[in-house]
Amino acid sequence: MPELVFFSGTMDCGKSTLALQIGHNRSARGLQGVIFTRDDRAGEGKLSSRLGLVTEAVEARPAMDLYGYLVGQMSKGAKVDYVIVDEAQFLAPDQIDQLARVVDDLDLDVFAFGITTDFRTKLFPGSQRLIELADRIETLQVEAMCWCGARATHNARTVGGEMVVEGEQVVVGDVNRSSEEVGYEVLCRRHHRRRMTSAAAHAAALSPDVLPVNPA
């Protein structure tokens, strides 16, 4: 039976890499799929991995009817055997409903990839709807790591190297950006609560206030 599967995890845990692998495995067996993405780091209409892999995709714009798009392509004779959706957290809830309809009415597997919560630890509306509708939810087994070595469970937004907890929910950025840019870092819950990024931890370690005092 076709399924709507939601692959979830923090940033930097290999979601896009797995999406590309699923597409590769199916295309190697003669199957053809449609890949949707939204606001990928490589630019519009791209699905990219931090490992350097990239492929063409359909940009799922905010007002786009994903079900209608697929029906239109199939009506023109296009062969569609499956659907991959990356950055699914950025989709509107009604677009997630459309993906569920693709599974139920078109009998296609839909593999959606995304992070569940934003930099404020609040659910993205698209991810919330996926949790509500998905036939199966898979947590990726490749664990991203906090700077302290613990398993990273939270996404932090940084501006000028400092963690922020206010602002628009969607601001496109990536991990490993320079400190002057809007960037993201994955943290364990403890250090997310303390707003302790790797840069902040490094600065604290170098602070004279925390160094031993020589009695002499």
From 3, 87, 138, 185, the catalytic residue:
87
Residues 95, 140, 191: CA angle, nearest 5 degrees: 100
- In this prediction, residue 85 has a pLDDT band, given cuts at 50, 70 and 90, of very high
Q: Which pTM does this prediction carry? A: 0.75
pLDDT higher than 70, residue 10: yes
The CA-atom distances, in angstroms, between 186 and each of 14, 78, 171 are 13, 40, 16
* Residue that the structure tokens 């845990």 belong to: 13
The CA-atom distances, in angstroms, between 169 and each of 22, 55, 164, 196, 204 are 29, 26, 12, 20, 29
Least confident stretch, 54-58, 98-102, 118-122, 181-185: 181-185
- In this prediction, residue 7 has a pLDDT band, given cuts at 50, 70 and 90, of very high
87 is catalytic: yes
Q: Do residues 112 and 5 lie in contact, with contact meaning Cβ atoms separated by under 8 Å?
A: yes
